[in-house]
Chains A and B, each alone.
Chain A
Amino acid sequence: MSMTAFWTGRRRDSLAGYLFVAPQVAGVVLFVLLPVALAVYYSFSTWDIFSGEMHLNGGSNYADLVTDPQLPKVLLSTLVFSSGVVVLNLSIGLLLAVMLNRRFAGVTAFRAIFFSPVVVSVVAWTLVWGFLLQDNGGINGLLSVVGIDGPNWLQQGPTAMASVIFAQVVRSVGVNVVLFLAALQGVPRELYEAARIDGANDRKIFFGITLPMISPTLLLTGIITVVGALQAFAQIAVLTQGGPGVSTTVLVYYVFQQAFEFNNIGYGSTLALLLLSFVLVLTILQWQLRRKWVFYEG
């Protein structure tokens, strides 16, 4: 068979397609699949980095998940942090989007203001909040002007958790605002007009038309926000280092501590797989539940 006969137009197209996806496939294999495979291997191993000795330990790292006295506290902190971030991020994001989906003077400036934290480096953003939240920092300074003796925000468990949630929500809510805004502007006007003619009030219109129509975006932002909350690291590392106590030690920070500070690579890998399983389960759950509450036109 001659080369000309082999390289038909269809084969050329196929080759072009493979070449186009090859960089992405290589990236996923190198930086996602291979590390996950290695993490699985390490999770069954004990590795003494300094002596260079590594041996399989028969799953004792998984047994440690049950006996680790800190893990329940870490999981609780993760639940509180993630729930707080997801609920506030989605509700505030939607509220702001609805407010900004109107025509009024300066609306573009307001949209830019709410989106601007998204483009700021997360570490720089968090460092600034760290200064503001000190006992003698800017926030307590402002509160003292109106006669309020503010708490020592980052040094008490409940306020420390509230502070990291707040810093995370304010920084990231802009993305959801933009997505919600785009979705809101895609809702056909005639649906609202028809509802008005039928006598629907604002509340009925919002829950009967707006929410169902933007439900695909709600699903998307829900998944993005849940995954983002479970991955939040810099905020914790910079603001509280997991403290006071372990009150703000979320799972991803605990993975970092175990693997890279305590050099327990095996147990750290096991915790990383636990985190991966949480993300997978939550994402699959949301995806499956979409049939019940996500409205797809047509």
Chain B
Amino acid sequence: MTSIRRLFSAAVAGGLALALVACGGGSKPEAQSPDGIDLRMTVWTSNKDQLALFTSIADAYRAEHPNVRRITFDSLPFADYNSTLTTQIAGGNTPDLAWMGDLSRDLIAGKALVPLTDKLKGTAGWEYGDLVDSVTAEFSRDGQLYAYPFSNSPFGLYVNTDLLAKAGQTVGQSGLTWDQVSKIGGAVNAKTGKAGFVLRDFDYSSWNVLGTVWPGWGASAWNEDGSQCGMNSDQMVSAFQFLHDAIYVDKSMPGPGVKADFFAGDAAFTVAQVSRASLLDGSFKYAVYPLPKGPAGEYSVIGQAGVGVLRSGKHVEQATDFLAYLTNPVNAAKLAQYFPPPRKSLLTGEKLAASNKKLSAAQLQTVVVDQLDGAVTLPNHTKPAEISQKGKAALDPVWAKDADVKSVLGKVCETLQPLLSR
């Protein structure tokens, strides 16, 4: 009886082991079914109109390429996008194409992306020379473009003019400085109890968003090649001292732990990407200006998103071909109604206004088109999540009322430098 029981146990264990071997490990066979190729692209939008546009372009591509059976747009939550995409790659479930933001440098450094330059230049009618140089730099390495920068949305200053009027304040676009914004914001706060200015999506957590402020002081998080920390520079200390004073002296910027949503009417000013204009619901009068000047003068900042082809995807050649189609001049013009395009031919106030109901042609010319040339991007580096998290932990003390700004920023660099040097 004992031997039979052992035999049976061994059979069960063997069966389980076989099941495990069958279920896990090993690479999947080529996914091309006899019926055709399936492509998958990960995106972080769940906007129905945007997804419908992508689907319509994909349908047109499939009509020209009968070997492509299906193209799906896999909508992942923005907050978990990087970790979900990374997990998919780690698990062997790599999408063929993917949107990318601050993960781009890791993907490029890890040689996870397919170089696109030759394909795009070789595609008839694609017009590679139409791309604005300043917007391709973030996704290029050694002269090769690794992701098409489909969205290049400058940051601007949104103004709730109703709230300003209620506080007896006025503001003009010309020569507006950060100091003026803080003083006016403080006056609004004192008069109405509403916030002066908020930096959208900062929330005392995503400190890279402060990269929309510190260029005004001539500061940068690190040097051009990303090897030396710049958080402890004199310019950066001045920029952070300005923010600290805005919280505790002018009382124009809400402190940590205080929620204020400009688009719900809670603040006089906000810094946000121009693409956020869609959040304006008409409940108050507004204006949109370029970013205010700092002591170092005028500057502009853009937030970018790119789309690239994953080298470990199952249909690299077909995915690259679809990307070239998706981003050709005709389709780029369609995408421009949602995403500020990287093509010179599409970058005029009139053309952008044709599909933008919130901002006028003149506003779009001023806050989008005129800002792209020479714009800097938010700080980006390989290992973005680790730098962001460890930097945040080191930076947290700067938001205390009695903080020694210079000392805290010195410690931030002590924390970041080993990561930058790796």
Contacts and interface: CB of A to CB of B under 8 A. Distances in A.
Interface string B318-345: 0000000000000000000000000000
A134 B86 contact: no
A49 interface: yes
B256 A246 contact: no
A15 B11 CA distance: 12
A18 interface: yes
A207 interface: no
Contacts of A260: 83, 86-87
Interface stretch (A109-117, A151-159, A174-182, A215-223): A151-159
Contacts of B86: 49-50, 260, 263
Interface stretch (A57-65, A193-201, A236-244): A236-244
B258 to A, nearest CB: 5
Given A261-B386, A262-B383, A22 B12 contact: yes
Nearest to B204: A155
A50 B107 contact: yes
B385 A262 contact: yes
B396 A243 contact: yes
B53 interface: no
A257 interface: yes
Nearest to A258: B386
Contacts of B9: 18
Contacts, number: 95
A50 B112 contact: yes
Interface in A1-21: 10-11, 14-15, 18
Interface in A226-255: 241-246, 249
For chain A, the bracket of interface size reads: 35 or more
Contact of B20 (A34, A262, A264): A34
For chain B, the bracket of interface size reads: 35 or more
Contacts of B394: 245
A15 B393 contact: no
B171 interface: no
A15 B8 contact: yes
A265 B4 contact: no
B129 interface: no
Contact of B90 (A49, A70, A241): A49
Contact of B396 (A137, A245, A264): A245
A130 to B, nearest CB: 10
B109 to A, nearest CB: 7
B16 A152 contact: no
A241 B257 contact: no
Residue among A11, A51, A134, A257 with max Cβ neighbours from chain B (10 Å): A51
Contacts of A29: 16, 20
Contact of B89 (A11, A49, A136): A49
Interface in B77-120: 83, 86-87, 89-90, 106-107, 109-112
Given A136-B258, A243-B392, A10 B397 contact: no
Contacts of B106: 50, 263
A134 B259 contact: yes
B42 to A, nearest CB: 15
Contacts of A244: 393, 396-397
A298 interface: no
A166 B5 CA distance: 51
Interface in B213-234: none
Interface of B: 1, 4-5, 8-9, 12, 16, 19-20, 23-24, 83, 86-87, 89-90, 106-107, 109-112, 204-205, 255-259, 312, 383, 385-386, 389-390, 392-394, 396-397, 399-400
11 contacts: A29-B16, A70-B390, A153-B257, A155-B256, A242-B389, A243-B392, A243-B393, A244-B393, A257-B389, A261-B385, A262-B386
Given A155-B255, A245-B394, 16 more contacts: A11-B4, A15-B8, A18-B8, A22-B12, A50-B107, A50-B110, A51-B110, A51-B111, A153-B257, A154-B257, A156-B400, A243-B205, A243-B392, A244-B393, A261-B83, A262-B386
